[in-house]
Amino acid sequence: MEKNIAVIRGDGSSPEFVRETLRVLDRIAEKYGHTFRYTEVAMGGDAIDKYGDPLPEAELQKCRESDSVLLGSVGGPKWDSLPGDKRPEKGLLRLRAGMGLYSNSRPAKIWKQLSDASPLKRSIVDQGIDFIIVRELTGGVYFGEHKTETVNGEEKANDDMVYTEHEIERIGRIAFETARKRRNKVTSVDKANVLDTSRLWRKVMHRLKEEYPDVAYEDMLVDNCAMQIVKNPAQFDVIVTENMFGDILSDEASMITGSIGMIPSSSLGEGTVGVYEPIHGSAPDLAGMDKVNPMACILSAAMMLRYSFAMAEEADDIERAVGKVLDLGFRTADNQSEGCTVLGTAAITDEILKQI
């Protein structure tokens, strides 16, 4: 099978872990008789340096024409002083909107080998942490009108949070369908006691749940959810929520697993062309040091194989290899523990390749 993959290497230390991920994909292609062709795409700080634009239309078009996109993290202090519409992160928003990627799924799963790295008490961790946050990705306050003006001699800023029924319904369906493939429970997170957008969200979700009588459903306010994620994460299966809430909660969830360097993510729309990326940042402080953990990006590639290419066996192969490397006691600096062997970015990828 031949697949065209758009590769955004990103900024900071991102090119290092993207490079290692491509090595893993090449090994999978060799083992299973596939051909993966890579198209280089500039986005974020890299694109700003080359074109003065965080995602030029020509680069976005390369992504649209691909079978999937592997994305390294973007941004860094080098571009922090730029105006908002010129910052690297603007390219990420443009990519999501331009490809119609309205759904982001971030698993929060603790690898048993890393359970000691979780900041939670062992009694909580032993109950199990294995849930997915399904985040609406192209609506809400991040995509609303943003305006700053001077009123009565002082600056006033305004950010609009907007949602329509169809935006809520389509992300809700993804949550219910995902739950059917897992443990049949959906927790819808909102702030319906305060926000009109959340009251509409809850109305649509209540209508939708009638179509899925086999899936247990509950509403939860976002502040309570933030507390429950650290108090009793085992209660969750699929959490579905709007853009900003999902952004915050998914980062919180990643930290209870012990290492943000182990968490992949997928962003999908109506078709199978998706964007796959680690949820962590570009770690510019580690650039060029061979220290960054490549496993979140490698596991993102496994998600790409599974969800965009229907290559379940190949995805399982990568995930088993990562688990075996952890079983053998190999770690990167971000998740080291007593008795383990700490390896660099390239060396730990070598170990993963040995297991495939």
- Kindly state whether residues 234 and 264 are assigned to the same domain: no
Of 222, 256, 290, which one is at a domain's C-terminal end?
256
Going residue by residue through the chain (356 aa), what tens digit of pLDDT does each one get? 999 999 999 999 999 999 999 999 999 999 999 999 999 999 999 999 999 999 999 999 999 999 999 999 999 999 988 887 789 989 998 998 899 999 999 999 888 888 888 889 999 999 999 999 999 999 999 989 999 999 999 999 999 999 999 999 999 999 999 999 899 999 999 999 999 999 999 999 999 999 999 999 999 999 999 999 999 999 999 999 999 999 999 989 988 987 788 889 999 887 778 999 998 889 999 999 999 999 999 999 999 999 899 999 999 999 999 999 999 999 999 888 788 999 999 999 999 999 99
At residue 99, the pLDDT reads: 93
- 112 lies in some domain: no
* 186 and 312 share one domain: no
- Whole-prediction pTM: 0.84
Three-class SS of 88-130 = HHHHHHHHHHHCCCCEEEEEEECCHHHHHHCCCCHHHHCCCCE
114 assigned to some structural domain: no
Distance CA 332, CA 345 (A): 7
Distance from C-alpha of 95 to C-alpha of 53, rounded to nearest angstrom: 13
C-alpha–C-alpha distance, residues 89 and 145, integer Å: 17
Is 180 in the same domain as 288?
no
296 and 323 together in one domain: yes
- Report, as residue numbers or ranges, the catalytic residues: 142, 191, 223, 247, 251
Output the six-digit token pair for 337.
């523990």
Domain of 184, CATH number, reads 3.40.718.10
95 and 178 co-located in one domain: no
- Range of the structural domain that residue 324 is part of: 1-107+260-356
